[in-house]
Structure 1
Amino acid sequence: MMRKSYKKKFCLAAASSIMAMSFAGYAFAADATADDADTMEFTLDSMVVTASRIPTKITEAKADISVITRKDIEQMHMSSVEEVLRTVPGVQFMNYGGNGGMNANMSGIRINGSKEVVVLVDGVRVNEFQGSDSGYFFAALTNNTDNIERVEVLRGGAGTLYGSGAKGGVINIITRKINDNKTSIDVSAGNFSTKQYKLNTQGRQGKVGYHVYYDDKHSGDFKDGSGKKWQSDIDSKSVGLKVNYDINADHKLSLSYDRTKSDFNGYDYIYHNNYRGDYKNDSITFKDDLTLSDKWSNSFTYRRSNTEGQYAQNNHTLFNADADYTYDFISDQVTYLTNRHNVVFGVDYAHGKDNAAKALVGTSGKPANFKMKNTSYYVQDDWKIIPHVTLSGGLRYDRPSNSGQTGATLESHTSKSYKLSWDITDKDILYAGRSDFFILPSMYQLTNRQYGNASLKPAYGRTSTIGYSKSFDDYNIFTFNWFETKTERGIGLTAAGYVNTRGMSRGWNAQFMTQLGEHWNANIGWGHLYQYEDEDTYSYGYSPKDLATFAVYYDYAKVKAGLDGYYFFRRVNPNYPNGWPADDYAIFNMSASYAPTKNINIYAKVNNLFDKMYSERTHVIYATGRPGDWYSMPGRSFVLGMQVTF
């Protein structure tokens, strides 16, 4: 009965959205002009760079990849990267609550059931040495979407190209290009005390271009789908500056600075404590892109990132934690392209420092600033051995080290990958391959006074995959990928601390992208998963058996609208049958905007349209848990806003 009810709700939502958007299109059709029609650009077969580090059409990437474009972000008025990623097949978030508070402290993401995920900005890591916690990051880091051109999600192991942590997949945030002179101001407000102010300005004069953005967001107490009020408060600010200098058409430089600051507090109803915390991230990035010839090019990047954060609960020492890390990244990639070979090779260097001096766990040694570094050398060649058949092979050598304390020596590792693909026709591609992954333990996992294990060893394993992509025509694209990941040595957390573990996961992801006429486009996805790992609570009911995603967009004349969301089917653990408020649930979000003039855009958005009561984190599964001890996600919320561009 419950699933039938959701099917009815899905149909009702889709029908109401379609009728509303169709009526809007009819009402304003008289205002349409030829210029309006020219703005309708659907790029289903998007160019991506994450799959091979070389620009490639998504249907030719021979990898399990999804793309969310700038147009998609604006269509649904997505205010965070989390909102963007929730529409991607195979991607799952596990949040402590809603708009603020616990969610501001930590936001968990898994791809293909794995919490080991690499997050990149323009192909370079945001942070390093996160170990098995790489899929946990401060939500405030992803609050600003104004500087984003698109987000690419590569599912599956990619250790050869991206190194430590690329087990579940890679999230690559591509920042916006500076193409014209434009300034926009965006102001919005809604329930749950939500307010947001955004400023974006960019310009180009000859060889010099610049982009400046500022984002100020506040949210307060919220109600879940049952009407229960959750006390929380979060203030988040993001600011950034990017300057480009084109020496010539083949040589381009860029320098950027980005800063995010978040302060939050609230009440934890599970542990009955007030909590508070803050988070700050500063980064500076320099890039040098040089095209040497029609075959050779080089890209050099340097990034320094500093992360500070603290979290505390009153009268609860288990939840008092702080962090202060500085990371330096150097990456140099050389690309060589011919009719038969696409070769990338280079070196990645990462250095991390814990700025808070600590003594090694289990010793009486003096406090010291723990440091880690890793130098990686990699090469990959996509070789067309005969027409329509491509053999890809890659190697990566990681040479890590640690200092400041006398823990276990971090071992070096060589990762391998190979893939064979067959272009059956111009529209059908079949591929199969295997890719190793290698995961260094994090500085926190090695040194934390409560859970740290200085003898923790790096994790490693491999992912096997079989995939197929089909381009029916320029307007209909289908992709499918089956995977199996075996973790020969992982990293897990027990009551006694971090330990090495074993595990596996398998499943498949499918997505279909379509353009329906001149004014509609849509995509649907489905991910199926089975996962198990020693010393991991994911199999206690956190994992989805199936996760469906969907999005429908309408764009005509002065009106834009969209409906997106996901349907979660829980893999229920019989030992914890009542661990969650809902095992199967659907979340719908709707957005609509109207542009009365070329420079003004008025919009509205409703999240959790049917006010569904659900949770992504629970305490019921633990020994001290009681029925109802879960962190509820927000119920129905709305935002009204206006953007002015000049």
Structure 2
Amino acid sequence: MKKQRKKIVCSLLSSTLIWGFSTVALAEEPEELFALEEVVVTASRMPTKLSETAANVTVVTRDDIEKGNYTNVPEILGQTNIVLESNSERIPESSPLINGDHRVLILIDGRRINANTFMNGTQFGTINMNLLPSVKNIERIEIVRGPASALYGSDAAGGVINIITRQATQEDTTVYSEFGNWGLRRYGFTTENKVDGFGYRIAYEHKDQDYFEYKDYKTGEIKRMPNSSIDEDALSLRLDKELSGGRSLSLAFDHDDSRDGSYHQPPGMPYYMPETYKKTKVNNVALTYNWPQGASTDNMFRIYRNDSSYHWYDWGYAMYPVAEKERYITDKVFGGEWQQTRRLNDKHTLVSGADWRRSHVKWLAYDIDNTLSNRAVYLEDRWKLDDRWIFSSGVRYDKTNTFGGKATSRFSLNRELDKNSNAYLSWGQVFRTPLANELYGGGGGSVGNPELRPETGDTVTVGVNTQLSDDTKIQASVFSSRIKDAIRWSPDANNLYAPWTTENVANEKRHGGEISLVHELSPQWNVSVGYSYVKIKIKEKDEIDYHEDPDNAQPQGYRLQVGYNQDKWNAGVTLRGATGRDLQAFASEDYWVVDLNANYQMDRDTRAYLKVYNLANKAYDVRGSYRDIKLPGAYPMPARYIAFGLERHI
């Protein structure tokens, strides 16, 4: 069996090298990268051991979050192999890329929160990452690479990020504050309690920041970004009530109110906005009822409401007068979902469910008032062929008010090599319906196109997880995907300020993979290394052949983390980088950034921490600008950022 396991590992690593892994890999992943007996829920919509999950899954635990001193979800994801394509307007306003794909579904406790229109300056920016639940209320984050349209529907082409929130367990109240450069002031509290089957957990936070600085890649000069202030209040609430017979009821509410500068690009760039500012309000609420029934588990019925409004004032570019001074968009979503998991016998477990979602989008400046709705049913059978083989097959049918019906399928095969290793093969179809602003215009000056077709395609993934020894673990996978009728926004090459058009202009091919290794050097020291590779080729309308995509943010990505934990100290340093980027879209072919964090347990109830991002003060960007008529360096990332915080239980 050991020989068989080694052959499979070697075969997969060889495939990785053949597909382009030509550089020594160093990458970081959370310490509990794939504890094989750990249970995950996102990949199959039911609790499944990682060793029986046919997907590349990364789990960020509560312990990882606390050790890293993270204050928002983008900070957490930025320390994994997830690429966050920031538009530089606010770091959290980022579009996550999985396998080089923007089409990523974001869930909170399994509930979809992607909007049906764009919410920031990125092409697929349907989620403001800053408006997610407080980090203090997050129990874990599960990241699944590969398509999940057959389970979750539209937007799950590249992968799924599921943020799982915490339930109250005991009486506790914590206050915290954080201060840093650029006038950062952040403070908040959490409080929780559980009595007689009723629990509540509340988190409130206020954040102010006067501006941020960036390093000019041409001159090396540190510059202040004008009009980049942040003023934000956020509240997260979760109530849980245990009922009789194993039933339970949960109410979740998230609120965010922010008032921010909206410069978009640095001074001197065509889209620099010196006076524009933005107000954002988000109120998301969900009520979930869980119940057992016979041999089934995880039965659930949920209704939810997601309300978002974005109001831009004094809209206009420094280099071009704009008559329109105000833009206002609202996206009001109402939805419901039902899911039931039933174990038919020792071999078959069925997951079935239904979704209904209605989104009402308004762009007041463009007189746009449209409704997008979708109804769906899905079914997946998890078939345990024997003690080592598991075969899963599933299908989902979506019925939209704009594009009719569409069925998507997926299949996977998982093989347990031994108690510490598994290998898998999966195939899934891709389906993404156009957003409201892509169909009707408004977002980013787009004129819209009601004749757009949905994007379709499929992805194949092969992977292996193995524990070589008690202190060394490896996770590796390779993938290949195809997208047909890819939707792109196209600017006018002769007029930067003319409305962008939206069309099904391209077919896309992606292939690549990643490998990660976690090794415990001693009880105090651990190291994580890894490497990712993504090659994207596109064939645009009227082109005969494919060419490489210049906007590929991370053709080759690297992470290295060294962690230390002893007595009252916990510390870590992370090196992250990328190579092979196109100079038509980016300021440099590569970048290397060092981050560090340390925390000290002053006493039983008090913890102090320090974190530094971009320690070496490097100039770099992570969002390409090829489609912005070749403006490399148009979206610079912040310079060195230092913050100090205190947290105390009272």
- How would you bin the TM-score normalised by the shorter chain? 0.7 to 0.9
**C-alpha distance in 1 between matches for 2:139 and 2:259:** 27
**C-alpha distance in 2 between matches for 1:641 and 1:503:** 45
CA shift in 2, pair 1:395/1:42, >3 Å: closer
Structure 1 residue 622: deviation in Å?
Answer: 4.8
Pair 1:477-2:473 in alignment: yes
Deviations 1:486-539 (A, max 9, x none): 112222222351111311111112222344433344433321000123569992
SS at match of 1:323: strand
Match of 1:332 in 2: 338
Which amino acid is 1:156 matched to? Answer: G
Match of 2:100 in 1: 113
Which of 565, 574, 583 is the aligned partner of 1:555?
565
1:37-56 matches, cutoff 5 A: 44-45=35-36, 46-56=38-48
**C-alpha distance in 1 between matches for 2:233 and 2:563:** 30
Pair 1:546-2:540 in alignment: no
Contact 1:464 1:483 in 2 (8 A): yes
CA shift in 2, pair 1:135/1:276, >3 Å: closer
CA shift in 2, pair 1:524/1:322, >3 Å: farther
Structure 1 residue 318: deviation in Å?
Answer: 9.0
Structure 1 residue 385: deviation in Å?
Answer: 1.8
Match of 1:486 in 2: 482
Which amino acid is 2:568 matched to? Answer: K
**C-alpha distance in 2 between matches for 1:246 and 1:63:** 33
Match of 1:243 in 2: 239
Structure 1 residue 110: deviation in Å?
Answer: 1.4
Deviations 1:397-450 (A, max 9, x none): 00111xxxxxxx413111011112222222232221210011111111111154
Structure 1 residue 240: deviation in Å?
Answer: 1.9
CA shift in 2, pair 1:556/1:41, >3 Å: farther
Structure 1 residue 298: deviation in Å?
Answer: 0.9
CA shift in 2, pair 1:519/1:289, >3 Å: farther
CA shift in 2, pair 1:461/1:623, >3 Å: closer
Contact 2:133 2:254 in 1 (8 A): no
SS at match of 1:616: coil
- Normalising by structure 2, we get a TM-score of 0.84
Match of 2:150 in 1: 160
**C-alpha distance in 2 between matches for 1:143 and 1:125:** 13
Match of 2:86 in 1: 95
Gap regions ≥5 residues in structure 2: 1-24, 492-499, 542-546
**C-alpha distance in 1 between matches for 2:365 and 2:376:** 27
CA shift in 2, pair 1:69/1:286, >3 Å: same
CA shift in 2, pair 1:296/1:310, >3 Å: same
Match of 1:511 in 2: 516
Which of 569, 572, 589 is the aligned partner of 2:595?
589
SS at match of 1:161: helix
Structure 1 residue 320: deviation in Å?
Answer: 6.4
CA shift in 2, pair 1:454/1:228, >3 Å: same
Contact 1:552 1:564 in 2 (8 A): yes
Match of 1:460 in 2: 456
**C-alpha distance in 2 between matches for 1:85 and 1:207:** 33
Contact 2:473 2:517 in 1 (8 A): yes
Which of 595, 602, 609 is the aligned partner of 1:603?
609
Which amino acid is 1:60 matched to? Answer: E
Match of 1:17 in 2: none
Contact 2:237 2:252 in 1 (8 A): yes
Match of 1:613 in 2: 619
**C-alpha distance in 1 between matches for 2:382 and 2:626:** 49
Match of 2:639 in 1: 635
Structure 1 residue 236: deviation in Å?
Answer: 1.7
Contact 1:604 1:641 in 2 (8 A): yes
Match of 2:529 in 1: 524
Structure 1 residue 59: deviation in Å?
Answer: 3.4
Structure 1 residue 130: deviation in Å?
Answer: 4.7
**C-alpha distance in 1 between matches for 2:86 and 2:573:** 22
Match of 2:14 in 1: none
Pair 1:644-2:648 in alignment: yes
Structure 1 residue 569: deviation in Å?
Answer: 1.2
CA shift in 2, pair 1:474/1:158, >3 Å: farther
Moved more, 147-156 or 496-505: 496-505
Structure 1 residue 351: deviation in Å?
Answer: 0.8
**C-alpha distance in 2 between matches for 1:473 and 1:319:** 63
SS at match of 2:639: coil
Contact 2:510 2:537 in 1 (8 A): yes
Gap regions ≥5 residues in structure 1: 1-9, 15-39, 360-366, 402-408
**C-alpha distance in 1 between matches for 2:253 and 2:641:** 33
**C-alpha distance in 1 between matches for 2:309 and 2:577:** 35
SS at match of 1:431: strand
Deviations 1:253-310 (A, max 9, x none): 1112110122111544113431211222101111111122344441112110001113
Moved more, 462-471 or 219-228: 219-228
Contact 2:625 2:634 in 1 (8 A): yes
Which of 42, 50, 54 is the aligned partner of 1:58?
50
Structure 1 residue 165: deviation in Å?
Answer: 1.0
SS at match of 1:580: coil
1:215-234 matches, cutoff 5 A: 215-225=205-215, 226=220, 227-231=222-226, 232-234=228-230
Which of 429, 441, 461 is the aligned partner of 2:434?
441
Q: Percent identical across equivalent pairs?
A: 24
- Normalising by structure 1, we get a TM-score of 0.85
Pair 1:129-2:116 in alignment: yes
**C-alpha distance in 1 between matches for 2:388 and 2:65:** 35
Structure 1 residue 478: deviation in Å?
Answer: 1.5
Contact 2:73 2:130 in 1 (8 A): no
**C-alpha distance in 1 between matches for 2:149 and 2:141:** 20
**C-alpha distance in 2 between matches for 1:321 and 1:547:** 37
Which amino acid is 2:388 matched to? Answer: H
**C-alpha distance in 2 between matches for 1:467 and 1:533:** 25
Moved more, 124-133 or 602-611: 124-133
SS at match of 1:560: strand
**C-alpha distance in 1 between matches for 2:439 and 2:164:** 32
SS at match of 2:150: helix
CA shift in 2, pair 1:614/1:176, >3 Å: same
Deviations 1:166-223 (A, max 9, x none): 1111010010121111111011101111111021000011111000110111122222
Structure 1 residue 350: deviation in Å?
Answer: 0.9
CA shift in 2, pair 1:467/1:618, >3 Å: closer
The two structures, once aligned, show a CA RMSD in angstroms of 2.8
Contact 1:42 1:521 in 2 (8 A): no
Which amino acid is 1:431 matched to? Answer: Y
Moved more, 580-589 or 630-639: 580-589
Which of 347, 358, 362 is the aligned partner of 2:354?
347
**C-alpha distance in 1 between matches for 2:548 and 2:336:** 35
Contact 1:214 1:240 in 2 (8 A): yes
Which amino acid is 1:110 matched to? Answer: L
Moved more, 466-475 or 435-444: 466-475
Structure 1 residue 109: deviation in Å?
Answer: 2.1
1:238-317 matches, cutoff 5 A: 238-248=234-244, 250-265=246-261, 267=263, 268=265, 269=267, 270-271=269-270, 272-274=272-274, 275-311=276-312, 312-314=315-317, 315-316=321-322
Deviations 1:128-162 (A, max 9, x none): 43599555432431483111111111111111111
